[in-house]
Structure 1
């Protein structure tokens, strides 16, 4: 039976009642108690009030037993911790969880303190509105404001009056990786945490030698991603009978224009292949395979030699490689179930891979015992896993040198899809080769390309039928 407590004002008058229902004990041995405060309507007699209090207490207890109540003591932050423990850490990929947690820092600052039974759609709408048009920090980073070669030893032919620290010494003293130091020396962004350690190790004032990275304003697409994450957390609360309704279902999101996929036309793709002739391995072959298959960069970097079936002419996509600062390189399953697929390739692609394998075997032989055997098709300089962002950085620099504007690794995937669509390959086949969940996804991404193909089809029909009919009439 629900426990009933009277709540009185300063004058000793009963103003409301508190109902407390025990729901057993948790794993720590603490009692789970759900509480509800009920304020009686005015005009009830003493007998009516007594009867109504008992009725409301019994109703509340029944709702508790059926799991239809909200524990008003649970805040969104507590729900997030529950979701993290019961679902996210068990079901999500490490890299996905890392990106979610980075974004959720902003969410918790805004609505983390609000009780679940008080969160309304307008709270979420206000949060989304506050995101639009301003920069939001997820991973804090800085860029060097000075030339650190003055303090870190590099063989640049310059002489300095003061002694410079070697990269290895700085790595040990600051407790940062050699890769971070090399990135710093190139003038690129590093994390705030590493920047402060390096400043301390070199005896420099952090704020004078580093600049904050200027961040882009939050887009509508990013707001929608925030919404999807928050909705997933509330959905967990609904399935656990903590709340009856997901408030995200009643939020009207801002509309965003659909960006058109950037791709190379056939002449640009052919020029790219020509320019790649003198490109270094493994990037040359990696770029060409990415263009021929439409694979994602993470799928390409995770590809093993055993995943290539020469007899069946197949590239079998089974893994995906991702990198985060929190977990480093992580090999897992591809993006979706449909991303696990077999892509048909030609004899020419097999021949290209044969030539590349000869190069890799010779390189491996020359490197001797320094080579790390991972079985990967594309590796770093010592046979280890090739970071997807390393491939992207090389390709971005390559495109800049050869005057390919606004082109990145994912452009190769869009180009593969576009060439297939423009050559009348059925949309279902295109979708399967790309690893999309459905043709709807493919259609949404490549709408403008499909429209162009449709226009070309109309012109072809016009040329084929009406032109012949006109000729017959004139004859």
Structure 2
């Protein structure tokens, strides 16, 4: 509620409380009012009441807000909200985003940042931004992540009573042509397999299990021997293995509730796992007390959980050694999905197998693959009804002659 105080010089001060700032102190806004000459005390009182109401509404609409700068408040958001509610890996990724956000808008007051300021930052990031590791242009997904971080900070400011509007709602992230996912071809997979026996057993298991299961890297590294049911040839996904610079390697829950799942495996994979388990037990016995028993499948030399970067570095080096293009460790998961799709497995089953929270995620990620698989339905029907292929041809004229003529006409048209 607004309060009014008379000053000695014949003016009045209107004060409105605007919530609390990042430091926990109450924020107040002030406005001065000077009556017009000749106004009666009753007229002044009436106008003061009107001015107080208007000023209070102006404050509530967010036209006047706290003067805290974005970077300072964002750091408070990290401490008060992100550390408590986000997973350590998500927290670390958010921290990485500040490297671009703070130089752009960190010095600006929250109440002075407009949708246009944020739009300029997002657009510039897509036009001029480069990936720090690869030097390639930044993707739309990267821009969305940055915008989401900024929006989260503004949403928190609104909940704290410091703002009434989130300018991110009006920001548009331009669409980009989606690149097809880089997936190993069957010939490349065959070459990977043919040369695999010369590699350490744990990497043999990792590569083949990743292809057959489609598990995320964090899920692969989170597997423990108690998750392997040798009797029924199934594997349970129950946890993930993560890494941050602050915490090191740690165990976390799965990405989503549906990521906890059970996979049926072929006998060949289960036999490979049996050999791997026997080899690991022999290594543990040889190291004795130096062996750290974490029950993990994929470990360092001493039984400690494997670093998430290790499979990436191994696969990259392995591809270079045998002359196969390196298509990233996550492409093994995409390969698994593509094999399911091209074998005619429906989208709901694929989504469940991949551990996606909703079917829409699967459709968005692999839409072009489903379209290609659907296009083959026409060939399947044609093959099944091959006895009707002479429909539409003139009597006595071979169908292939017409096809050939049609093709020639198409070439001439082009």
Return the TM-score normalized by structure 1: 0.73
Moved more, 122-131 or 74-83: 74-83
1:2 aligns with 2
2:329 aligns with 409
Distance 2:232 2:37 in 1: 84
1:271 aligns with 191
Q: Secondary structure at the match of 2:235?
A: strand
Query: How has the CA–CA distance of structure 1 residues 330 and 224 changed in structure 2, closer, same or farther, with 3 Å as cutoff?
Result: same
2:269 aligns with 349
> Residue 96 in 1 paired to residue 87 in 2?
no
Distance 1:434 1:443 in 2: 12
1:83 aligns with 77
> Residue 437 in 1 paired to residue 357 in 2?
yes
The number of aligned residues is 393
The equivalent position to 1:124 in structure 2, one of 107, 118, 122, is: 118
Distance 1:460 1:266 in 2: 22
The question of whether the paired residues in 2 share the 8 Å contact of 1:302 and 1:331 is answered with yes
Distance 1:115 1:431 in 2: 44
The equivalent position to 2:211 in structure 1, one of 291, 303, 317, is: 291
1:129-144 equivalences under 5 Å are 129-134=123-128
1:305-324 equivalences under 5 Å are 305-324=225-244
Distance 1:44 1:300 in 2: 83
The question of whether the paired residues in 1 share the 8 Å contact of 2:293 and 2:303 is answered with yes
Distance 1:60 1:309 in 2: 69
1:71 aligns with 65
Q: Secondary structure at the match of 2:195?
A: helix
Q: Secondary structure at the match of 2:295?
A: coil
Q: Secondary structure at the match of 1:282?
A: helix
Distance 1:357 1:21 in 2: 67
2:399 aligns with none
Query: How has the CA–CA distance of structure 1 residues 294 and 237 changed in structure 2, closer, same or farther, with 3 Å as cutoff?
Result: same
Q: Secondary structure at the match of 1:271?
A: helix
2:409 aligns with none
Distance 1:312 1:36 in 2: 73
> Residue 418 in 1 paired to residue 412 in 2?
no
Q: Secondary structure at the match of 2:181?
A: coil
1:109 aligns with 103
Query: How has the CA–CA distance of structure 1 residues 272 and 37 changed in structure 2, closer, same or farther, with 3 Å as cutoff?
Result: farther
1:389-404 equivalences under 5 Å are 389-404=309-324
Query: How has the CA–CA distance of structure 1 residues 366 and 447 changed in structure 2, closer, same or farther, with 3 Å as cutoff?
Result: same
Q: Secondary structure at the match of 1:82?
A: helix
Query: How has the CA–CA distance of structure 1 residues 244 and 31 changed in structure 2, closer, same or farther, with 3 Å as cutoff?
Result: closer
Query: How has the CA–CA distance of structure 1 residues 302 and 290 changed in structure 2, closer, same or farther, with 3 Å as cutoff?
Result: same
1:185 aligns with none
Return the TM-score normalized by structure 2: 0.83
The equivalent position to 1:454 in structure 2, one of 350, 353, 374, is: 374
2:15 aligns with 19
Distance 1:111 1:44 in 2: 48
1:22 shift after superposition: 8.2
C-alpha distance after superposition, 1:404-427 (max 9, x if no partner): 213221111011000010111121
The question of whether the paired residues in 2 share the 8 Å contact of 1:374 and 1:385 is answered with yes
Distance 2:122 2:94 in 1: 16
Q: Provide the alpha-carbon RMSD of the alignment.
A: 3.5
Gaps in structure 1 of 5+ consecutive residues = 139-212
1:129 shift after superposition: 3.3
C-alpha distance after superposition, 1:295-315 (max 9, x if no partner): 111111111111222334322
Query: How has the CA–CA distance of structure 1 residues 27 and 245 changed in structure 2, closer, same or farther, with 3 Å as cutoff?
Result: closer
Distance 2:187 2:2 in 1: 77
1:341 shift after superposition: 2.1
The question of whether the paired residues in 2 share the 8 Å contact of 1:303 and 1:376 is answered with yes
Q: Secondary structure at the match of 2:108?
A: coil
The question of whether the paired residues in 2 share the 8 Å contact of 1:2 and 1:20 is answered with yes
Distance 2:158 2:258 in 1: 28
Gaps in structure 2 of 5+ consecutive residues = 397-414
2:168 aligns with 248
The question of whether the paired residues in 2 share the 8 Å contact of 1:40 and 1:49 is answered with no
Query: How has the CA–CA distance of structure 1 residues 388 and 21 changed in structure 2, closer, same or farther, with 3 Å as cutoff?
Result: closer
Query: How has the CA–CA distance of structure 1 residues 73 and 390 changed in structure 2, closer, same or farther, with 3 Å as cutoff?
Result: same
The question of whether the paired residues in 2 share the 8 Å contact of 1:4 and 1:20 is answered with no
Query: How has the CA–CA distance of structure 1 residues 214 and 442 changed in structure 2, closer, same or farther, with 3 Å as cutoff?
Result: closer
